[in-house]
Chains A and B, each alone.
Chain A
Amino acid sequence: MTATEPQAETDERPIGFGRLLRKEDPRLIRGMGNFVDDIQLPGMLHLAILRSPMAHARIVSIDKSAAEAHPKVVAVITGEDLAAQGLAWMPTLSNDVQAVLATDKVRFQHQEVAFVVAEDRYSARDALELIIVDYEWIDPVIDVRKAMDADTPVIRDDLDDKTDNHIFDWETGDAAETEAIFASADVVVSEEIIYPRVHPAPMETCGCVADVERVSGQLTLWSTTQAPHAHRTVYALVAGLPEHKIRVIAPDIGGGFGNKVPIYPGYVCAIVASLVIGKPVKWMEDRTENLVSTGFARDYVMQGEIAATKEGKILAVRTNVLADHGAFNGVAAPVKYPAGFFGVFTGSYDLEAAYCKMQAVYTNKAPGGVAYACSFRITEAVYLVERIVDCLAYELDMDPAELRLKNFIQPDQFPYETKTGWVYDSGDYEPAMRKAMEMAGYDELRREQAEKREKGELMGIGLAFFTEAVGAGPRKDMDILGLGMADGCELRIHPTGKAVVRLSVKTQGQGHETTFAQIVAEEIGIPPEDIEVIHGDTDNTPFGLGTYGSRSTPVSGAAAALVTRKVRDKAQIIASGMLEVSVADLEWNKGSFSVKGDPEKSVTIQDIAMKAHGAGDLPDGIEGGLEAQICYNPENLTYPFGAYICVVDIDPGTAVVKVRRFIAVDDCGTQINPMIIEGQVHGGLADGVGMAMMEMISFDEDGNCLGGSLMDYLIPTALETPDWETGHTVTPSPHHPIGAKGIGESATVGSPPAVVNAIVDALKPYGIRHADMPLTPSRVWETMQGNHTPPI
């Protein structure tokens, strides 16, 4: 598409961008990785957490004497014990507080109540059974729609003067302007659209090993964290430990998807235990603990409205959202963005007005809210707009592709400021849409569908077009707990021309060790195999906010490119001395400088590296060494986009949905490693099939979590997922040094509406305009019978 399209797709060992096989593979594929649970330290003890069986109850008493008497138990700690040290509560990433261990009452089922430290994991679990807790039942608040009712119990009576379950009200856009357009529009469509509670469920659960060295007071924490530096600062603030005495190491991580952004009570418990006992302590949660207590995602009840002309020009979108945040507001989002980046619910369309009003409430459910590759709530925003646009297409009896094409923001409108104040940096939507339609054979699919409908067969074609806002973010208005969302990067070229680059971000499987070596290689011409990528260790990397919200490439990738350019600038000065010409007379040939007009006179970056560290004079004012460090503050977010088409067949007799095909065209700007990009897209597409058709964390009326195992919380397997058909366009970001935009969450954002739109489209003969996820066979069946019920 453009000059930045990778040239090296066929090159097996590109020096720079291209399909480079992963540097991290050799250890991981041989089982030689080093995950948190693989860590064994001499004298290490094991921690297990006692959790509440009830969703809402006062703690009357806790008798831990029998547990303490267990021969292999070293310590049993309750909330009261922690309170004595001022450690019973910790801050959440949204400036709320969360109980490390419950003191007064429990506020969700499986909340942390006490912990045991024992000589081995089995004994620690045994001893949990010996702790006797007397609870006094309180009616739980489970139905989010009733959370603000007058007679509802107040969940957060720990907060001063709290008399209801309200967390915040938030709005964006212009209410009056939007109302005026709605009042006079030809067509108005309204629909309640629910994005149920789901869970990232990475294959590796969360855990840590805490090791406090008694004499120096040094804490080393091996932890399943996507944000080691941010976590270190929070530990310093919570535990009162001096920050320079804390080292957080994120070793190999078995998937994150946002689940490993928050700080969980288990981490704090392990730190406290090691501090008190003076030995290393491991805490590794089991799968149930992961599903029932750690960062969930979504849980938005959205009333969506769209206004349009009868010809299909979309004029405005409006939404009223009820957000279930669980028992503690643990949302991980920039402070000024309590609803994350939900403000991009205007989608990829040129609107005249938009307005969103939101209320967030507490319920007796696990805390969290921003996770599962959601790009800070863009999953919810894109689902809302792409679903409501399809509802409009249904009402206008218009093809949903045609409706979208008619309303796209046009290329000459970029940078485009939306009606909710977001400045989309770049975009070229129609080619991506056309490409997806061409790959799908869209017109032929519609013909096939018409024929099948004649015969009573159910086939659906679903489209979704999304724009994301990723790469948070400019520090002028984005921070988490006061920490600006910039990222550092350090590059050192050793005398022999080998390099080490240190990142503040951290892979959980995305392949940073490969991608970042390629960024440096592209900029300085050192082969990627000669570049070591160090990350996930606060003692050995510069400060930065970590990997989530698809921010590694937009923020840290920019830092890596710019730090390399800084080193290259110095290398050019040294080269000018070596070649005895002025700096301006040199030209760069990806790996060497040569004299303009005399290419024979050249020095390689390796020659320069040796000179920088060697004997002899350097040009005036130039210090020895060849290294640099920077901190990159993005000037804007980046805005990846994509067009997705899903084709489904539904068995009219059983309501079983089969995803026949899925076509995904993504535009993440400049592509660093197309192979890794495809992998990121494939994974997100499977997420979309999972959420649309299988996944939901649900509760009974007493607050019992019904999704506490992988037999109850279903995630897609190789059988439910089709062969993904991927394509791309390239529209580089104008403000990113290499034009890259981020790809980590695009498919998770874009695929759920495509799948749901396909299923609803298949059910059109039944007069169905909308159906809520998860569209399991039973829920599809009920919908076909006219008995569709909201999932929450």
Chain B
Amino acid sequence: MTDTPTPALRVDPGGRIGVSMTVNGTAISTDVEVRRTLADVLRDDLDLTGTHVGCEHGVCGACTVAVDGQPVRACLLLAVQVDGTEITTIEGLANPDGSLGPLQQAFHDAHGFQCAFCAPGVLITTASLLETNPTPTRDEIKAELSGNLCRCTGYHSIIESVETAVRLTAAGAKSTDGGDEEASNA
């Protein structure tokens, strides 16, 4: 800490600030109340209700979105903090034609979810994991997903789904090399 005096809070809690961000590939400029969380802005202002709010204290992980590729709790982040970033939500994981993306397909195939309220956080966390570590071990998957609570599945099918995604991705990469079109769609 320095000796510089802390500037007085000048922002009126009800005041608004312009925020520009890219959400699921679409550039968005909006005016937000400074105290509004990213989760609320995504859900209420941008109508991206796929991101769920389960605890509002950063524990359950349902609200996880990717900010510049990093999974973060949208309930603990103010929307004004993400100015200039790229955000991916669960809606951004589908294929461009709206069909299930590869990760989503794996969670369908392996019965990953039940009520699926935790799904947005689990999928975004998994997508971020696979970006940096495309072939995680089972223990690595469990450790990475330990910040995402689920009450329905006992986690078993979620872990299986991630492993299914890893397998499908590996098969896809292999078949792309070998030109096997069918498997690359998986």
Contact = CB atoms under 8 A, between A and B. Distances in A.
B127 to A, nearest CB: 13
A129 to B, nearest CB: 12
Contacts of A21: 108-109, 111
Interface residues of B, number: 61
Name A's interface SS. Answer: loop
A724 B157 CA distance: 10
A723 B49 CA distance: 32
Given A29-B108, A710-B60, A203 B154 contact: no
B59 A711 contact: yes
A508 B152 CA distance: 10
Nearest to B141: A718
Given A203-B151, A710-B149, A711-B59, A718 B115 contact: no
A204 B154 contact: no
B186 interface: no
Contact of A718 (B60, B123, B158): B158
A42 interface: no
B147 interface: yes
Interface stretch (B4-12, B86-94, B168-176): B86-94
A205 B141 CA distance: 27
B115 A204 contact: yes
Given A29-B107, A718-B158, A509 B54 contact: no
B117 A287 contact: no
Given A40-B44, A721-B154, A203 B90 contact: no
B54 A287 contact: yes
A327 interface: no
Q: Which of B57, B111, B157 has the most CB of A within 10 A?
A: B111
Nearest to A256: B115
Nearest to A259: B151
Contacts of A718: 141-143, 145-146, 148, 155, 158-159
Contacts of A676: 111
A374 to B, nearest CB: 14
A30 B94 contact: yes
B154 A724 contact: yes
A286 B55 CA distance: 7
A510 B100 CA distance: 21
Contacts of A511: 114
A38 interface: yes
A685 B155 CA distance: 10
Nearest to B33: A122
Interface string A396-421: 00000000000000000000000000
A619 to B, nearest CB: 44
Name B's interface SS. Answer: loop
Contact of B57 (A38, A252, A711, A721): A711
B100 A26 contact: yes
A29 B117 CA distance: 9
Contacts of B100: 26, 29-30
B67 to A, nearest CB: 17
Contacts of B53: 37
Nearest to B158: A718
Interface in B3-48: 33, 35-36, 40, 43-44, 47-48
Q: Which of B62, B115, B155, B158 has the most CB of A within 10 A?
A: B115
Contacts of B82: none
Contacts of B113: 25, 28-29, 509
A31 B59 contact: no
B117 A709 contact: no
A269 B89 CA distance: 33
A667 to B, nearest CB: 19
A38 B141 CA distance: 30
A31 B49 contact: yes
B154 A684 contact: yes
B50 interface: yes
B64 interface: no
A734 interface: no
Interface in A7-61: 21-22, 25-26, 28-35, 37-38, 40
B153 A683 contact: yes
A789 interface: no
A717 interface: yes
A122 B35 contact: yes
A208 to B, nearest CB: 16
B71 interface: no
Interface in B112-143: 112-120, 123, 138, 141-143
Given A33-B116, A254-B117, A202 B153 contact: no
Contact of A709 (B57, B143, B157): B57
A686 interface: yes
Contacts of B148: 717-718
A201 interface: yes
Interface string A702-740: 000000011100010111010110000000000000000
A117 B44 CA distance: 18
Nearest to A202: B151
Contacts of B109: 21
B114 to A, nearest CB: 4
Contacts of B115: 28, 202-204, 252-255, 508-509
28 contacts: A30-B90, A31-B50, A31-B89, A33-B50, A35-B52, A37-B43, A121-B40, A122-B35, A202-B151, A204-B117, A252-B115, A253-B115, A286-B56, A287-B57, A509-B114, A509-B116, A509-B152, A679-B111, A682-B153, A682-B155, A682-B157, A709-B59, A715-B151, A717-B147, A717-B149, A718-B143, A723-B159, A724-B154
Interface of B: 33, 35-36, 40, 43-44, 47-57, 59-60, 62, 89-91, 93-94, 98, 100, 104, 107-109, 111-120, 123, 138, 141-143, 145-159
Given A675-B111, A717-B155, 11 more contacts: A25-B107, A30-B93, A31-B90, A37-B49, A37-B53, A122-B33, A255-B151, A287-B57, A287-B60, A710-B59, A717-B146
Closest 6 CB pairs of A and B: A31-B50, A509-B115, A254-B117, A686-B154, A682-B154, A31-B90
